Amino acid sequence: MSDLVARTRAFIRDVVIPAEPGWGETLADAALADLRAQAKEAGVHAPHAPREYGGRGLALPEWSPVFQEAGYSLIGPAVLNCMAPDEGNMRLLEVVATDDQKERYLRPLVAGGIRSSFAMTEPHPGAGSDPDALATHAERVDGGWVIRGEKRFISGADGAAFAIVMARTDADGDHPAGATMLLAPLDADGVRIGPGIRTIEAAIAGGHPHVVFDGVFVPDADVLGAPGEGFRYAQVRLGPARLTHCMRWLGLARRAFDTCLDRANGRELFGSRIADLGVAQAMIADSAIDIETSAAIIDRAARVLEDDPRAGAALSSIAKVHCSEAVFRVIDRAVQLCGGDGVSSGLPLIQYLNEVRPFRIYDGSSETHRWAIARRAARARQRETDAGAARLDRVGGPS
Amino acid sequence: MSDLVARTRAFIRDVVIPAEPGWGETLADAALADLRAQAKEAGVHAPHAPREYGGRGLALPEWSPVFQEAGYSLIGPAVLNCMAPDEGNMRLLEVVATDDQKERYLRPLVAGGIRSSFAMTEPHPGAGSDPDALATHAERVDGGWVIRGEKRFISGADGAAFAIVMARTDADGDHPAGATMLLAPLDADGVRIGPGIRTIEAAIAGGHPHVVFDGVFVPDADVLGAPGEGFRYAQVRLGPARLTHCMRWLGLARRAFDTCLDRANGRELFGSRIADLGVAQAMIADSAIDIETSAAIIDRAARVLEDDPRAGAALSSIAKVHCSEAVFRVIDRAVQLCGGDGVSSGLPLIQYLNEVRPFRIYDGSSETHRWAIARRAARARQRETDAGAARLDRVGGPS
Amino acid sequence: MSDLVARTRAFIRDVVIPAEPGWGETLADAALADLRAQAKEAGVHAPHAPREYGGRGLALPEWSPVFQEAGYSLIGPAVLNCMAPDEGNMRLLEVVATDDQKERYLRPLVAGGIRSSFAMTEPHPGAGSDPDALATHAERVDGGWVIRGEKRFISGADGAAFAIVMARTDADGDHPAGATMLLAPLDADGVRIGPGIRTIEAAIAGGHPHVVFDGVFVPDADVLGAPGEGFRYAQVRLGPARLTHCMRWLGLARRAFDTCLDRANGRELFGSRIADLGVAQAMIADSAIDIETSAAIIDRAARVLEDDPRAGAALSSIAKVHCSEAVFRVIDRAVQLCGGDGVSSGLPLIQYLNEVRPFRIYDGSSETHRWAIARRAARARQRETDAGAARLDRVGGPS
Amino acid sequence: MSDLVARTRAFIRDVVIPAEPGWGETLADAALADLRAQAKEAGVHAPHAPREYGGRGLALPEWSPVFQEAGYSLIGPAVLNCMAPDEGNMRLLEVVATDDQKERYLRPLVAGGIRSSFAMTEPHPGAGSDPDALATHAERVDGGWVIRGEKRFISGADGAAFAIVMARTDADGDHPAGATMLLAPLDADGVRIGPGIRTIEAAIAGGHPHVVFDGVFVPDADVLGAPGEGFRYAQVRLGPARLTHCMRWLGLARRAFDTCLDRANGRELFGSRIADLGVAQAMIADSAIDIETSAAIIDRAARVLEDDPRAGAALSSIAKVHCSEAVFRVIDRAVQLCGGDGVSSGLPLIQYLNEVRPFRIYDGSSETHRWAIARRAARARQRETDAGAARLDRVGGPS
């Protein structure tokens, strides 16, 4: 275990868990600020962010064990400032932003003084699973751009200082028509936030409201990267962001697993019916298998992502489906193993289950990913047979 | 479809569903009383209760389609007065109570003016999955009995008029030592209710509090059945009560299924990605299979219960495991098929999922039932081989 | 248990099982004939066939327990002459054939002196899952019809006395164009059988060969039912035939289940590791659940089939998917529970697994049925909303 | 892709697959020898074996992609001489044997001129899942040891040149009592082979016979490692041997997957019913997920095995359960997607299914592993709480 993993582990268990809010409550802003201060002091704050902007500078293949430790507490990722959507935005800014933009947006974001949003999804029939349908438009004006359009399910927007907005732009000089990313303060003229959508999970501060951009001016200095290249940059964010969700939720699954192991070790499973312990063993083993295969596919996808972003994105899609479903199963089994306590306020397990349930839907539902995974597999094989591989489905003569 | 099924179906859809409370709200007492009055007028109130005490007098094998229609609304069973634990208590009183007790307890319960509880489960290490561990004791005194003990997870106790209390009694005259059922008003001297346990589901009015009986006097006239025969009576209640849970929740699963079919027919599955519809088809088919096999095993168990209570109880155990898991899967798939709406307050699906989740734990967890099912299967086969059936696992010589 | 069920049970266990052929062997014709003679003597032969033609005359809703007893031995259905495809053909003849045809075809078939086939499936792109694509044609000639076409996967054709052939016919007098069923002796001029397709299962005598009809004359007296009505008659056969497969294989699943229970009762599971018994309990319970839900959905579908063939066919589709998959799981678990013996010639379990594996594909694969089940569910719900039912997927405003 | 992976891939596809025997046939010895000669020439023979003894010298974490390519053909691992049990024996000899033993046993084994066995498992109640029950004994005599005992399920013994025999030995000088490994030629006096156990799979040459050692003398020079240390050495073999099974079978799963993708790309799924393709997509995606998570957990376990054999063995147990079940599912889905061809001799898929089915039982059944995985998880957590970690299952007060 690396030193940072060990320190993160200790910090979460010694400092963060004792400060967790009760059933149905949320962490107060002041308490969060205080915990973040302690995290900085302990040297565990913003593990993924670049050192020169205040983070610990970990490379992507090393994130997983640290993020899992953070996710062991529902509030851990927020305390360590490695929660969605800020964490994905930090990475995007790190890769794409100018030095000036990094000073103005990345540095305060890593410091934790502000929050941010990523504004891509739109109401039907705009950009959703299919980003090509982008309806929000940014018009070229003197010295900048004017954004018009409506976004929905913009996680964290309520209270965020700025959003990275994806908008359609026309060809402009050397820049092709396409999607462009713009950095827009959310207190700008023309921004309207709300109505919010109430969802069953509560882990992301700032909810998931609609955000309307009604003629919002963004100066040239706040265009993120080159105009027209927005979809390419979105991929930069997408693959890792999927994986960090997996990492954090896997940490929570480990928490739930430890909880039911404590119950099992206390010999009170299913109302202390010793004879049922055997039935429990298969469930415990299945959870161990779910946890380790999740950790393994995350690692594999993270390593590939560094070398080959396209192959890595494909693997991150597989990892997302597997982990989101595995994590749900692990927590569901923990609920079951703790019996009545599992569904009551006495333990946080049923709350965990509600926190992770949407993960099978967010960032592309399991079904959308399965469709894409199947299509990619079929096409890859088609390329092989087109290139001369023998078709294997020819039926031999009867014998 | 029988006439009562059709009327219940119409009443639920036309009257009850429009009166359902919103996300996170509960039905007000006055609104419930008003709906019950309408249910009586429509001739659909208390379908399972004996006609002479105000019900519709359906025989057990006919309950399922009616209860499923009731369960199509979360508040339907309460409105029709066929919700747990009252419904199970009515049946127990019908079978075991004296005429006098029926007048005093069954009639007002069927009328819906009062609620009731069934007080068997105790704090560890008392009666739980293993009723033999009964710790609550009723002492013989002049003219009656005095109950001392603590019960936990007593569904509906808060606000109930009376409880059927299971207590250990010593041998007394012709009556053997054993368990005895006593009818105890919950406003009696010596009854203390609370603390409540907050659970994720809210369908049962009156919560699941602890109830302490601290020297509660029950006159002989309020002993239910013969002293010492309590466990036998408990079986009378147990098998059907398991099945009626299955019936009601299966109705809710049908509601969730219809909801996602409406979404599918509206062609907006997974954010209108038409290409994903195929992936959805397997999920829809699996839910149809879950629903129909649940309906079938309920029917089969109900028919057997009428003829052979012992075999019926065994089948009801199988039905309980299958239905509780099938119902969860059906609603979980509906959540998934409705995407972001499935986990938000825009639709009630995620609330339904939380309502049914505990059913895999209550009334014996799936694991406790599986343990019992396996043991029964192994013993039944042992009896066959003991009686001369050839053992089938003898390994033949190599060939 | 009815008398016939009990006698069948005893006959299978006392007479048939001791006569089962060894691993990789098949039952010799003489041995089969001898066993059939004993079955007739025991009054258990052809339980489903009409009494006046030599059967026991059971009504469809009573078949299941008898067929399950027959299926308890792999050779049981053949011995009792209730195996596919003969059993389905008997039913079709019973319902559709003329008295003369019954004498010539049904009577000897029930007696067991001959075997038969049902020739509908064709090579791609002819009639398969989609019967409308029927390519085989019967041309009207003087005094009869001349069949031309190729059929494939014609179960039992090798050695069968006759086949019921489905062929496309033109409009003819009062008869519409459509499909027509014809009774064709397989030793007729123009019939060519083969090549055979070798499959992993061996339960059906006569294999699954191609059959070519190259100008085969069938006299008017051997048209089965009215010309042009073939698809309607096919439905008569289809629903019950699906269910009888379920019944027979469920019997074999019970055999496998008993085998692993005997192993469990002998305390030698997983190499006698007593600590693993708990893990085994969940598997045993899951198999018990699979068996009972299969029995229940078969019963339900059979009852509905008698009253409402269309609804019954839809239910039989659900039953087929559930049972074919449940039966496979039950036998697969039995293999697993018997460890190395489960996959060796010491026990017949792995052979059973191979016998039932194709059942998930034959008679419409699970996937084709799922597609149809989903479509039926969606359309049924569409009819409800078209008729005024409130759509349930409307998203409420955020709260 | 490394050069060796690419060469192996090409060799298997260009040379080995065209030489595969037909349905139900096995590879002739002469054909195998010829293919091995070609493999040596192509530089792909014995990829895992040490270079100085004729192999390619790959380190364990690099084996997986090569072994998967080998396993893409059922006969590939035998051709490349990386099949069980020889491959595991080579590794054991590499780590434990003396130089002299390596010359006499390892070198010819790598060259492929001889085969070998690993003789540990015994008839009940001897060493099976529980190696401590070892009943075979080796008695110290002058200049060596005399083995007496019976072994069962000794894979590959029929025709093997020698076996590594595990026998119980008494304390002897510095050596503790315990298990000792001895190298015994199988043509030695006192060795009796047979009877064989016929199993459903055929991939391992030499079957799985019983082997009786009836006073077999082994000179001191043929003791493998130190007396009394046999269990420790067995661990050296065990972890990697489990993983190489996973690697090889994962290759076969990829073959089956490609086969059904070819069928899907040919648009003939489920009898060319285009409407069913959607149902197929979820199955294809699930297989892709099974394959990638299997590859990932193998990689992870192999990396950990190099650094921490104990942790690696625990992970290899998890990998074995996951991969053996995932591989079975992938091939089962391929069977299903190819419809009737999937269960017939026209395609090898059903044969593949029978080849991998025993893998869920051999080398510790899934259930035995689950039991061990659960126990390890519970104990690991117990150590954490013993060391001061807060117990997580304490129930908070009601709120």
Do residues D171 and D307 share a domain? no
Q: Which of A200-204, A309-313, D288-292 has the highest mean pLDDT?
A: D288-292
Compute chain D's Rg from CA coordinates: 23
Using CA coordinates, name the residue in chain D closest to B197.
Answer: D398
Is the Cβ of A130 closer than 8 Å to some Cβ of chain D? no
Task: Find residues 42-101 of chain D whose CB sits inside 8 Å of chain C.
Answer: none
Is the Cβ of C341 closer than 8 Å to some Cβ of chain B? yes
Cα–Cα distances in angstroms (integers) from residue C189 to residues A214, C104, C157, C158, C186, in the given order: 82, 19, 15, 16, 8
Closest CA to A396 of D13, D23, D73: D23
Q: Do D276 and C371 touch (CB under 8 A)?
A: yes
Please give the interface size between A and C, counted as residue pairs whose CB atoms are below 8 Å apart. 34
The domain of D128 spans: 116-228
- Tens of pLDDT, residue by residue over A52-107, are 999 999 999 999 999 999 999 999 999 999 999 999 999 999 999 999 999 999 99
Cβ-count burial C149-167 (b if 16+ within 10 Å, e if not)? bbbbbbbbbbebebbbbbb
Is the Cβ of D178 closer than 8 Å to some Cβ of chain C? no
C132: pLDDT strictly greater than 80: no
Let me know if residue B278 belongs to a domain: yes
- Which pLDDT belongs to residue B266? 80
Question: Which of A67, A96, A111 is at the close of a domain?
Answer: A111
Q: Do D358 and C343 touch (CB under 8 A)?
A: yes
Q: Do A279 and C282 touch (CB under 8 A)?
A: yes
Task: Find residues 225-264 of chain B whose CB sits inside 8 Å of chain C.
Answer: 255, 257-264
Q: Are D237 and D118 in contact (CB under 8 A)?
A: yes
B124: pLDDT strictly greater than 80: no
Mean pLDDT of D75-102: 97
- Which pLDDT belongs to residue D123? 86
Distance from CA of B136 to the nearest CA of C (A): 32
Do residues C63 and C188 share a domain? no
Is the Cβ of D109 closer than 8 Å to some Cβ of chain C? no
A35: pLDDT strictly greater than 80: yes
A196: pLDDT strictly greater than 90: no
Q: Do D265 and A289 touch (CB under 8 A)?
A: no
The least confident of A214-218, B290-294, D114-118, D304-308 is D304-308
Q: What percent of chain B has pLDDT over 70?
A: 95
DSSP B218: E
Q: CB count, 10 Å around CB of B7?
A: 19
D268: pLDDT strictly greater than 70: no
Q: CB count, 10 Å around CB of B24?
A: 10
Q: Do A195 and C397 touch (CB under 8 A)?
A: yes
Task: Find residues 11-40 of chain D whose CB sits inside 8 Å of chain C.
Answer: 23
Let me know if residue A305 belongs to a domain: yes
- Residue A146: which CATH number? 2.40.110.10
Higher pLDDT, A132 or D339: D339
Of A195, A277, A285, the CB nearest to C398: A195
Do residues B156 and B272 share a domain? no
Let me know if residue A284 belongs to a domain: yes
Q: Are D117 and D157 in contact (CB under 8 A)?
A: yes
Let me know if residue D375 belongs to a domain: yes
Do residues D203 and D162 share a domain? yes
Do residues B219 and B324 share a domain? no
Let me know if residue D243 belongs to a domain: yes
Residues D5 and D54: their CA atoms lie apart, in Å, by 18
Neighboring chains of A (3 or more beta-carbon pairs < 8 A): B, C, D
Residue of B204, B286, B356, B361 for testing the chain A interface, max A β-carbons within 10 Å: B361
Is the Cβ of A2 closer than 8 Å to some Cβ of chain D? no
How does DSSP assign A28-45, residue by residue? -HHHHHHHHHHHHHTT-S
Of D265, D287, D289, the CB nearest to A322: D289
B contacts of C296 (beta carbons < 8 Å): 293, 296-297, 299-300
Higher pLDDT, C86 or B194: C86
Q: Are A144 and A192 in contact (CB under 8 A)?
A: no
Question: Which of C227, C256, C273 is at the close of a domain?
Answer: C227
- Residue D13: which CATH number? 1.10.540.10
Question: Which of A164, A192, A226 is at the close of a domain?
Answer: A226
Residues B349 and B332: their CA atoms lie apart, in Å, by 8
Distance from CA of B284 to the nearest CA of C (A): 5
Let me know if residue C320 belongs to a domain: yes
Do residues A69 and A94 share a domain? yes
Closest CA to C246 of B293, D339, D279, B281: B293
Residue of A199, A281, A333, A337 for testing the chain C interface, max C β-carbons within 10 Å: A281
Residues 6+ apart with CB under 8 A from C14: none
Do residues D242 and D349 share a domain? yes
A contacts of D266 (beta carbons < 8 Å): 391, 393
Q: Do D272 and C340 touch (CB under 8 A)?
A: no
Distance from CA of C343 to the nearest CA of D (A): 6
- Which pLDDT belongs to residue C94? 96
Residues D38 and D129: their CA atoms lie apart, in Å, by 39
Q: Do D279 and B278 touch (CB under 8 A)?
A: yes
Using CA coordinates, name the residue in chain B closest to C390.
Answer: B13
- Residue A273: which CATH number? 1.20.140.10
Beta strands in C144-220 (DSSP E): 144-151, 162-169, 178-185, 191-193, 211-219
The pair of structure tokens assigned to C102 is 């019954």
Residue for token pair 């299914």? D353
Q: What are the beta bridge partners of residue B216?
A: B147
Let me know if residue D266 belongs to a domain: yes
Let me know if residue D16 belongs to a domain: yes
Of D128, D279, D370, the CB nearest to C371: D279
Do residues B378 and B244 share a domain? yes
- Which pLDDT belongs to residue D1? 67
Residues 6+ apart with CB under 8 A from D192: D211, D212, D214
Strand pairing class (C116-119; D162-169): unpaired
- Tens of pLDDT, residue by residue over C42-81, are 999 999 999 999 999 999 999 999 999 999 999 999 999 9
Residues C119 and C211: their CA atoms lie apart, in Å, by 8
Quote the crossing angle between the two packed helices B349-356 and B230-265, to the nearest 10°. 160
Q: Do D378 and A258 touch (CB under 8 A)?
A: no
Q: What are the beta bridge partners of residue A217?
A: A146
Is the Cβ of B171 closer than 8 Å to some Cβ of chain D? no
Cα–Cα distances in angstroms (integers) from residue C311 to residues B296, C80, C235, C299, C308, in the given order: 14, 30, 12, 14, 5
B351: pLDDT strictly greater than 90: yes
Q: Do D282 and B279 touch (CB under 8 A)?
A: yes
- Which pLDDT belongs to residue C395? 82
B contacts of A361 (beta carbons < 8 Å): 335-336, 339-340, 342-343
Do residues C127 and C185 share a domain? yes
D contacts of B399 (beta carbons < 8 Å): 198
Number of structural domains found in chain D? 3
C contacts of D208 (beta carbons < 8 Å): 344
Do residues D44 and D60 share a domain? yes
Do residues A253 and A370 share a domain? yes
C contacts of B327 (beta carbons < 8 Å): none
pTM of the model: 0.95
C contacts of A397 (beta carbons < 8 Å): 195
Of A129, A271, A275, the CB nearest to B128: A271
Of B281, B397, B398, the CB nearest to D278: B281
Distance from CA of A284 to the nearest CA of B (A): 13
Of A128, A283, A340, the CB nearest to B271: A128
- Tens of pLDDT, residue by residue over D120-134, are 999 877 776 566 789
Residues B219 and D293: their CA atoms lie apart, in Å, by 66
Q: CB count, 10 Å around CB of C225?
A: 18
Q: Do C292 and B289 touch (CB under 8 A)?
A: no
Distance from CA of D259 to the nearest CA of B (A): 21
A contacts of D259 (beta carbons < 8 Å): 392-393
Q: CB count, 10 Å around CB of C15?
A: 18
Q: Are B365 and A339 in contact (CB under 8 A)?
A: yes
The pair of structure tokens assigned to B355 is 């309502």
Residues A101 and A105: their CA atoms lie apart, in Å, by 6
| Phi, psi for residue B300 in degrees, rounded to 5 | -65, -45
Do residues D134 and D107 share a domain? no
- Tens of pLDDT, residue by residue over A140-183, are 999 999 999 999 989 999 999 999 999 999 998 889 999 999 99
Q: Do D129 and C350 touch (CB under 8 A)?
A: no
